[in-house]
Amino acid sequence: MQTTPRRLRKLPSRLLTQTAVHAHRLVSEGLAGSHRYHYSLLAALDEFGPSSQAELGRRCGIDRSDVVAVVNRLVDAGQVERAPDPADRRRNIITITPGGKRELRRLDRALAGVQERLLAPLSAVEREQLVRLLAKVLTHHAHT
Global confidence as pTM: 0.86
2 pLDDT higher than 80: no
- Mean pLDDT, residues 99-121: 96
Residue of 120, 130, 131, 126 whose CA lies nearest to 26: 120
33 pLDDT higher than 80: no
- Mean pLDDT, residues 46-52: 97
Residues 32-119, CATH architecture:
Orthogonal Bundle (1.10)
- Mean pLDDT, residues 17-28: 94
- Mean pLDDT, residues 97-102: 98
1 pLDDT higher than 70: no
Q: What is the pLDDT of residue 15?
A: 94
In sequence order, the 6+-apart residues with CB closer than 8 A to the CB of 110 are: 30, 31, 32
Distance, in Å, from the CA atom of 64 to the CA atom of 47, rounded to the nearest integer, reads: 20
Give the torsion through C-alpha atoms of 127, 128, 133, 136, to 10 deg.
Answer: 140
Helix H or strand E encompassing 102:
helix 98-118
Q: What is the pLDDT of residue 97?
A: 98
Are the beta carbons of 116 and 96 closer than 8 angstroms? no
